[in-house]
Amino acid sequence: MRNVKYLKCTRCSREYPALPDMTTCDCGGILDVVYDYDSIRTSLTKETLRERADHTMWRYRELLPIEEDTVPQGLRVGSSPLYESERIAEDLGIKKLYIKDDGFNPTSSLKDRASAMAVTKAKEAGYSTIACSSTGNAASSLAGNAAASGIKTYIFVPSRAPKGKIAQLLMFGANLTAVDGSYEETFELSKKAIDKYGWYNRNAAVNPYLSEGKKTVALEICEQLDFIAPDFVAVSVGDGCTIAGVYKGFYDMYRIGLIDRIPRLISVQAEGCCPINTAVKENTPLRAQEENTFADSIAVGVPRNADKAIKAIKDSDGICVNVSDDEIREAQKYLAKNAGVFAEPAGAAATAGLRKLCREGKLEKDATVVTIATGNGLKDIDSAIKTVSEPIHCKNDLKEFEEKFGLK
Ligand SMILES: *Cc1c(COP(=O)(O)O)cnc(C)c1O
Ligand SMILES: [Zn+2]
């Protein structure tokens, strides 16, 4: 790869060649892809981007870790909408508010960005089977993107995973194991199986290319805001791969000179499961926590990408905020009602954190903020119905209808 120099350990700084199936450093640290920004900045410019017909995540090819002749695999991922909401900005008391709706992706979550990358790298490396463990969305997106490219999958999810995600997995033909245990135990079982059978590994943190796929969400935000970086970007955090990817995308754009500063990241976790925010706030090593939240996608007691996530929060002068399940439910309704964006609980968590910070007066009045809705609400109908009320029933009778709505 001409654009990639090497992979570098985030813990001990050891360098490795960027082979398509590289995993972690011998020291156990996770690897980061190091680019040749000097050469990239000459070919990836505002002008060249404007002329590109490719409106998928692969339009930023120079900043992606694939060979020049590699054909991208998977579904049509990326170019999700960035909605501006004047109503919400006014309500929150900030200048501008944008919602990046990544539930718009083909399997309805931001994870498609990482899974399309994983399937592409697996094909590059000549594998025919990919495996992963996941709280649900990484799994369903991998199964969908792999199905599109004729690759077999072995997938491990905790049995608590919402039905929508299970339905996707079974429809996409994954070899699915619902593990009776926590996400941590699910990860451990997948690791044992992958070590034994040598499948391509799409586990968070183990695979250094996933956050490179996820960073395309930040590259798109830059382009959609005409290369003026927002002041804050709110992200919900589980394993930490997403927020690490968001940081990397802005860092890349900064290094090639397309934006002039990196936004401050708002790391949002659930009160019942916030190991990354605790480590940042208390400046202590990461400690495992219970997975005590209904926002299943961020119920990660032992985050695998914590090193990269913590660095992203600190380097961006970020803010950590924890939200209760009730605050997440309120944010789900708020986003849906005020912006027409129906997000799953973890997808609305970032907005819950943002609302909390605004209520506490922590953001400046002239701030421009992007909140990322990471997954679509239809993935978890059971919890959504509990959050709202049952519909009003009525016979085919106009009088009864009018009485029920207090009309006339
Ligand atoms: C995976 C996921 C997250 C968090 O991403 P991490 O990389 O685990 O931190 C947030 N929201 C949704 C909908 C997700 O699927
Ligand atoms: Zn190392």
Q: What is the pLDDT of residues 277-306, one digit of tens each?
A: 999 999 999 999 999 999 999 999 999 999
Torsion of CA 108, 113, 116, 122, to 10 degrees: -130
137 lines ligand 1 (CB under 6 A): yes
Ligand 2 centroid to 312 CA: how many Å?
A: 18
Ligand 2 centroid to 131 CA: how many Å?
A: 24
- How far is it, in rounded angstroms, from Cα 286 to Cα 184? 15
236 lines ligand 1 (CB under 6 A): yes
- Is residue 110 a contact partner of residue 372, using CB atoms and an 8 Å limit? yes
Provide the residues around ligand 2 (an ion) whose CB is within 5 A.
9, 11-12, 14, 25, 27, 29
Taking residue 231's Cβ as centre, other Cβ atoms within 10 Å add up to: 17
3-state helix/strand/coil string of the chain: CCCEEEEEECCCCCEECCCCCCCCCCCCCCEEEEECHHHHHHHCCHHHHHHCCCCCHHHHHHHCCCCCCCCCCCCCCCCCCEEECHHHHHHHCCCEEEEEEHHHCCCCECHHHHHHHHHHHHHHCCCCEEEEECCCHHHHHHHHHHHHCCCEEEEEEECCCCHHHHHHHHHCCCEEEEECCCHHHHHHHHHHHHHHHCCEECCCCCCCCHHHHHCHHHHHHHHHCCCCCCCEEEEECCCCHHHHHHHHHHHHHHHCCCCCCCCEEEEEEECCECHHHHHHHHCCCCCCCCCCCCCHHHCCCCCCCHHHHHHHHHHCCCEEEEECHHHHHHHHHHHHHHHCCCECHHHHHHHHHHHHHHHCCCCCCCCEEEEEECEEHHHHHHHHHHHCCCCCCCCCCHHHHHHHHCCC
188 class by beta-carbon count within 10 Å (0-12 exposed, 13-18 middle, 19+ buried): middle
- Is the model's pLDDT at 398 over the cut of 90? yes
- How far is it, in rounded angstroms, from Cα 165 to Cα 151? 19
Averaged over 99-126, what is the pLDDT? Answer: 98
With cut-offs at 50, 70 and 90, classify the pLDDT of residue 205.
Answer: confident
Site to probe by mutation for ligand 1, drawn from 117, 236, 274, 277 as the one with most ligand atoms within 8 Å of Cβ, is 236
pLDDT at 408: 80
Residue given tokens 């798109």 in the structure block: 220
Ligand 1 centroid to 89 CA: how many Å?
A: 24
- Is residue 136 a contact partner of residue 223, using CB atoms and an 8 Å limit? no
The one-letter code for the residue type at 150 is G
Ligand 2 centroid to 30 CA: how many Å?
A: 7
Q: Give the ligand with the smallest distance to the CA of 247.
A: 1
Averaged over 236-242, what is the pLDDT? Answer: 97
Averaged over 92-112, what is the pLDDT? Answer: 98
Site to probe by mutation for ligand 1, drawn from 100, 102, 107, 110 as the one with most ligand atoms within 8 Å of Cβ, is 110
- Is the model's pLDDT at 92 over the cut of 90? yes
140 lines ligand 1 (CB under 6 A): no
pLDDT > 90 fraction of the chain, expressed in percent and rounded: 96
- Is the model's pLDDT at 389 over the cut of 90? no
242 lines ligand 1 (CB under 6 A): yes
Closest ligand 1 atom, residue 374 Cα: 13
Query: Who contacts 54 (Cβ-Cβ below 8 Å, separation ≥6)?
Result: none
Averaged over 96-108, what is the pLDDT? Answer: 98
- How far is it, in rounded angstroms, from Cα 171 to Cα 162? 15
pLDDT at 135: 87
What predicted TM-score, i.e. pTM, was given to this entire model?
Answer: 0.97
pLDDT at 390: 84
Average pLDDT, the chain: 96
134 lines ligand 1 (CB under 6 A): no
- Is the model's pLDDT at 97 over the cut of 90? yes
Closest ligand 1 atom, residue 103 Cα: 13
**pLDDT tens, position by position, 152-200:** 999 999 998 999 999 999 999 999 999 999 888 999 999 999 999 999 9
